[in-house]
Every structure is written in structure tokens, then in C-alpha cells.
Amino acid sequence: MTATPGTTPTLVLVGHGMVGQRFLEALAERGLTGTHRVVVLCEEPRPAYDRVALTSYFSGNTPEDLSMTDMAFIEEHGIELRIGDPAETVDRTARRVTARSGEVFDYDILVLATGSYPFVPPVPNKDAEGCFVYRTIEDLLAIESYAKTATTGAVVGGGLLGLEAAGALKGLGLTSHIVEFAPRLMPVQVDDGGGAALLRTIEEMGLSVHTGVGTQEIVVGEDGAVTGMKLSDGSELATDLVVFSAGVRPRDQLARDCGLAVGERGGISVDEQCRTVTDPRVFAIGECALAADGRVYGLVAPGYEQAVTVAATLAEDEASFTGADLSTKLKLLGVDVASFGDAHGTAGDCLDVVYSDSRAGLYKKLVIGRDGTLLGGILVGDAEAYGTLRAFTGSVPPIAPESLVLPAGAGAPVQLGPSALPDEAVICSCHNVSKGAIRGAVTEHSCTTVPEVKKCTKAGTGCGSCVKVLGRLVTAELEAGGVEVDKGLCGCFAQTREELYEIVHALRITSYRELLDGHGRAPARGGDGCETCKPTVGSIIASLAPVIGASGYVLDGEQAALQDTNDHFLANLQKNGSYSVVPRIAGGEIAPEKLIVIGEIARDFGLYTKITGGQRIDMFGARVEQLPLIWARLVDAGFESGHAYGKSLRTVKSCVGQTWCRYGVQDSVRMAIDLELRYRGLRSPHKLKSAVSGCARECAEAQSKDFGVIATSNGWNLYVGGNGGATPRHADLLAQDLSDAELVRLIDRFLMFYIRTADRLERTSTWLERIPGGLGHVRDVVVHDSLGICDELESLMSSHIAGYRDEWAATISDPEKLARFVSFVNAPDTPDPVVGFVPERDQMKPDLPLLNIGHRPMEALEGSAQR
């Protein structure tokens, strides 16, 4: 496979997707870009981008954000990248490729990375106006444009891409349907139990799911545009936009046309070196290749392995591709879904270990061999243990299988960490990086940070699902080698958040500047700090303000400069640059007069209104200059800030309790109101949510909250460390059968101990699992006063309660504070022209739902999921 003597051999790569780009990197790693002329024929109008993260475009990522191509890399290695100029024909006899532009390239080596194409069922009118596929950025742009005039969308296919497409349509404001021929969603990745858990969660999000039915026909109107779908059960679904996401097929037509062998069901036949079985000068990698084991792999990780295999073969190194790990971890519509190993137990003679909580949308199944070997598994709703479980696949875990599926707080023993994994365990399946290779990067290549290990091994640079495990391994390896690991908050401070809290408290430090200059790292002193430590220190000072003598108002003086966009305007920034208004409604209880006030304000200012899961009423769409006008009316009616924008207490949800409910045994509404008013405005490392249920039926969902209370016939049970968000966690029982006074005292202690010792942006659920000693230690401190600090914790809470002032009441009474509420400082009377709206369902929605607020800190967007 050499060129004519005296000439540089030419390698032509057809296709520049994720696998094609990985192949170019593998060539460069072996020095082959310096010995070969490399020509890349790319069909799309843009170079390689992250197709796995395609849907993130609808949450604000731009096409540039998705790009995987560093043009400096392309130029440095002399790669001839031809965008929008795909290969049209291949003449294998003359070893020549003709591009669409008409340019002809002679080759010594040809690598086909043509990928796959979306399968569209052969139903009538499948090409009608309003029908789309979901494969490229251009597809997404077309869907986005068409959706502006649509109201309902339907996705054909309930696999992983289909669910992402349905979520995208919902995000575009469309009523969304999913039509799946199989009896469950994601039939390849999950079983019936996992599919059922996924179905419940997705339906709760407002999407309609139709399983066990096929699409018979696309119905069109007189203008030829889509108006509906006929399904195989005889029903008809009204829709004006259809997205086909029913799987993909290998894109092998170019290979067929030039006489290369393909499989019966498609795919270019290759051997273990990914060399085509027909022509030794032609290779095929990625989704267009039919591997030697008879499979076409539709995941990016096997494609990466094939790319590396071909590069190694060309460098005359021994390499082969004999199969790949099909494990996947995804977040679909905000729901974690993962499968690994033999997830369906096809090997036979195996046992299942299953944990299922339909209310929480959790389903976990492990497939265990008779000898105790972990063969595979499925995780829905909580895939936190995916990295560890996948790495143990094929071996006998050192603890009982049920310990690996029970969620934290449900009685499970101590969970295994990555340090317990064998060196041969694969940590990064995208790049096939083992634990041993990661340890080697630390011990042999002197890597001391996760970014350095990523650069050295490529671990964590694919889908990113292994980054958390990677970080723990790097830290463990450094500590095992006697290296002192920098656990400082950031480059400005060598101390942790907990240590900074103690410094501020003990020395009564009231300003960020004083703390930075007196206790920051030497290079940072006199500087401006960073986006990590500024809001962290701002939160610490705010939480200790009454004790240390600082202003309790977060926008006074220097404090204002420490806040993110949400706190800066005491409101929550939304997609189109408008803000939300969320008054506090303690316990969900509200008088009719106050309901009327909210309705009148929403009507007068044209705001979108929605009742949240936290029993409040959100009003969306306020321009920044309207916020003081709206809050003046709310404050006058007796409302105060709901702190939907801050890292503080959000709500204390309640059921109706014994006052109305025949099952209630305590007055949960009164208790919820008392707790919410007690802890309102309490600044903390992360947001806090709570709930009070009036009986064991748990209608307020107290066990999914940071602190939750459930009534018993003897008093109250207190649960702590719950989380109902992206990684659900059942709260742990801290104490039971408490009186009102005992309950409040323990919550005071718990919250102040958490604020004192938690890391930045650390929820109570994560803190409870991280803190040495876990729940037992927290119980010893909070209930039994093992550290002798409970009087101090209670005093800190008393100081907060005594010093509380409503931020919006303080703002509207101060003209100087009001001056910040303008879109343009140099034109205070000019509203932001970008903020626009269109009508929808008798209300309004943003006119630019996909606007990327790129100039604002991401931390400002973090709080937009209001409760």
C-alpha cells in the first residue's frame, strides 16, 4: 500500500463526521499526516460536529459550540478539508475519487466514513411539506423554522433519537406525540420495566406516547402540507409537523456503486483491521461498516475504535477490531437512561436483581450470573452508578448485587467507589481507556489534574459520562502517591468553601475584597477574583450577615458585584431575555384577594402565568424595567420575594393536612407556613426545597426534598438529604415522633450545619453522601450535639430570622437601588428590542425561544427550573 517511489502517498477520507475526525486525530498521533497527503471530502456545509449532543442546540448551544473541529489542527497537519464537496464516484481500478465539484483525487489509501442515513418508513406522503428527519444541524434548523407556524408535532420512533426529537418539539412550544411500533419506548436499550418507568416520567412531562402502533399514512391537506397521521390501530392523530426517527441504515451506496461487498442488510463488509474484504486499499469505519463479527455498530464509541484500528494498521502496528462495548448512558428529556453489558440476559441461566419505584420514576436492574458475575444492567431515572457498574461487568463485584441498585437513603450499605475497580476495567468506553491507563497517566506521565489526564488519555473527551469517575480516580491516585491534592475552592483561594466560611465567621470579614487580600493565594491578591469564588463568598457573607455585621441586602455596595444575573435583578432570567416574577406563597396557601392581585398584574403587564410544582404562581415575560413596577404592586398587596432566583429556600410544599383531609393526622399547612416563613431568604450553598405531609400517604412528596416532614399520630418525622431533580435521592430519616419545638430545633441545626460545611453548589443530597460519616455523623452532630456546636447553630439561625428583610420591599423604596433596573444604562427609557412575544393558548410565549443568551454567565441560567 505504498505510493510510487519518490511520491507522497495520498489518503482520501470520504466523510467528516465524529468518526472521521477521530481518524484524523489518530493519524496525527502516529505521525502519518506528515508522511501522507490527506484529503477529506465532507458532504455537510460544516466540518465535524458532536452529533451525540445534537439536541443541545435546542437548549442554547450554537452550531459553533457543537463543533469538534479545531481548524488550527487541520492547518497544522496540512489536511485538505473540502467542505460541502462529497465524493460522487470511486474508480477502484484507477484508484480515483471524483468529488461533486468535479475535482478528481488519485488515492493510495481510501477510507470510507460515510456514516448512516435516517430510515423513513415507506408510508404514503412521507415526503409531504412538514415532514422531517432528525439527523443533522440543517435538519434541526429546518424543524425550528417550520415549528414557528405549527402547533402540534409527532415523532415516528421512540428510540433515543426519537425521544430527543420529541423533547425538542416540546421545547419549541408544540404539543408533542411519540409513536413507537414496539410495545415500549427504547426497545433496544431497556426492558419492559425500564420502558414503563420511562413512559411514566415522559408522560408526566406533558408528552403523549403511543406504543404498539405503527404509522400507516401521513395525511395532507389541500395545500400538500401535513395535517395528521393514520395509525395502525385505526386511529388518526392530528398534527402539522412530523419527524421521522425510526432508526438509521448504513450509508453504503458509494461502496455498492464501485463494487465493494456489502452485507445482506447493508454495511460495507470489512475484516478485523476494518479493511474491506473486496479491496485491501479501501477501509470502512463507523456506521457504514459491517464489522467482522457481522454487526453494524450505531454508536460513536465503536466507530472511534475502528478509526484507531485503521490508523494503527496504516502505521504497521498490530491492531484489530473484534467487537465493542454497546453500553450507553444518556439523558433523555432530563431523564437518565443507561444500559450496559448483557442488559436483557440473553446469555441465559442468569438472575435479575431489580429495584423499582414507579412514583419516583426509578428502575434499576442488574443481570447476575449463577456464579455472581455481573453480566449487565439497566438504569432509568438514576444512572449515578453507571460508571462503576459498567466497569465491574464481567467480574464478581466485591459486594452483594442489591447494594449496587438500592438508592442512597433506601437502606443500601456503603456504595463502591471507582478505587475498588480492577485496572483492566474500562472507564471511558468512548475511547476504550482503562483504569490502569488513567493511573498510568498520573504515575508515569505526571498528570495532576483531570484536564491533563484527558489530554494524555482522551478519557472523558467523548460523551463525558465518565468524567465524575475520572476525577475521583485522579484524586485517589495522587493521594495514594503522597501528593497533596489541591482542594482549594479555585485559583484565587487555597481554602475550601467550608474553611472560608469559618474564616469569615471567626474574623467577622464583611467584604470579598478583605477576604481575597487577606486570605487569597498570593497571585490573586489585589486582583478581581473569578466567577467561581465571587458568588460563593457572596453567599457566605449573606448567610452570616447578621452575625458579622454585614448588610443583609445582597445588592448593597460590593455585594452587588458578586451576584450572578438572577440575583443582580432579584428575578429569574428566561430564554428570551425577559424575567419571571415569583412571589412567595407560603405553604401554597393564598387568600382570594391575593389571587386577584396576581391575576390583575399578569393581565396588566401581559405576563404568562403558570402554577408550579412547588405550589406557587410564576409570572413570566417581564422586561427588566417592569420588575420594580410589578413588585411595587405585589408588595403593596402583602407579597414578598419568593427567592426563585437565589441559592436559598424556595418553597415548603404542603398537602391540606388534617384540617380538610380525612386521612390527615397533623396540621401540615400550618407547619409548612411556619417553616417557610422561618427560613425564607436563608442563603445556602445551593437551593433548598422542603415539604410537609399530613400523613403517611405523603401527598406533598416530603421524601424528595432537602428537608421533609411527615406527620405521625405522635408528632412529626424529619427526613433530610432528599432530591427530586436530575439525580433523584430518597431522603433519610433523621428523627421521628418529634414535637413542634423539637422539629424546628433539629431543622435549624441541620440547615446551619449544612451551610457551614457544604461545598459550593452542593445540594444536601450530595453533601450527605460526601461528608465523612454520612447520615450517622450528621445525626450525631445535629441530634446528639457530639461536636458541642448546636447552641451556636441555633444562634446563627436566630440571627438570620431576626435580620430578615424582604429584598423587593427594600428595593422599591430606594431610588438608588431602582436605577439598576434598565436594559441600557445609556438609554434607561429604551426597552430591550430583543424581548418579544407571540400568542399561545390564550397567553403568550417568547418569540425567540431558542435565543442563546451567550453574554450572560451560565450560572445565571441555572436557576430557571423554578419550583
pLDDT in tens, 485-525: 778 888 899 999 999 999 999 999 999 999 999 999 988 88
Considering the chain, what percentage of its residues have pLDDT values greater than 90? 52
Q: What pLDDT was estimated at residue 336?
A: 79
Q: Residue 397: pLDDT band by 50, 70, 90 thresholds?
A: confident
Name the CATH superfamily housing domain 10-117+250-314. Answer: FAD/NAD(P)-binding domain (3.50.50.60)
Give the residue with greater pLDDT, 855 vs 314: 314
Give mean pLDDT, residues 118-128: 94
418-484 under CATH 1.10.10.1100, yes or no: yes
Q: pLDDT at residue 341 above 70?
A: yes
Distance between CA atoms of residues 174 and 153, nearest Å: 6
Q: What pLDDT was estimated at residue 569?
A: 84
CATH topology for 325-416 is: Enolase-like; domain 1 (3.30.390)
Q: Where do the CATH 3.30.413.10 domains begin and end in the chain? A: 644-805
Give mean pLDDT, residues 797-809: 92
Give mean pLDDT, residues 137-156: 94
Q: Residue 858: pLDDT band by 50, 70, 90 thresholds?
A: very low
Closest among 827, 691, 864, 701 to 334, alpha carbons compared: 864
Q: Residue 852: pLDDT band by 50, 70, 90 thresholds?
A: very low
Q: What pLDDT was estimated at residue 827?
A: 65
Q: What pLDDT was estimated at residue 420?
A: 72
Q: What pLDDT was estimated at residue 851?
A: 37
Residues 702-760 have pLDDT tens digits of 999 999 999 998 999 999 999 876 667 889 999 999 999 999 999 999 999 999 999 98
Window from 90-99, 557-566, 672-681, 768-777 with minimum mean pLDDT: 557-566
Q: Where do the CATH 3.90.480 domains begin and end in the chain? A: 576-641+812-867
Q: Where do the CATH 3.30.390.30 domains begin and end in the chain? A: 325-416
Q: Which residues, in sequence order, are CB contacts of 678 under 8 Å at separation 6+? A: 744, 801
Note whether 572 and 850 are within 8 A (CB): no
Window from 254-263, 334-343, 534-543, 822-831 with minimum mean pLDDT: 822-831
pTM above 0.85, yes or no: no
Give mean pLDDT, residues 604-609: 92
CATH number for region 644-805? 3.30.413.10
CATH topology for 131-246 is: FAD/NAD(P)-binding domain (3.50.50)
Q: pLDDT at residue 857 above 50?
A: no
Give the residue with greater pLDDT, 691 vs 530: 691
Q: What angle do CA 710, 761, 521 make, to 5 degrees?
A: 145
Crossing angle of helices 533-548 and 497-507, rounded to 10°: 30
Note whether 401 and 366 are within 8 A (CB): yes
Class of domain 576-641+812-867: alpha beta
Closest among 538, 305, 263, 310 to 431, alpha carbons compared: 305
Q: pLDDT at residue 780 above 50?
A: yes
Residues 17-32 have pLDDT tens digits of 999 999 999 999 999 9
Closest among 189, 197, 463, 185 to 342, alpha carbons compared: 189
Window from 70-74, 352-356, 537-541, 653-657 with minimum mean pLDDT: 352-356
Amino acid, res. 471: G
DSSP string, 814-844: -HHHHTT--S-TT-TTPPPTT--EEEETTEE
Note whether 502 and 532 are within 8 A (CB): no
Q: pLDDT at residue 862 above 70?
A: no
Q: pLDDT at residue 465 above 80?
A: no
Q: Where do the CATH 3.50.50.60 domains begin and end in the chain? A: 10-117+250-314, 131-246
Q: pLDDT at residue 355 above 90?
A: no
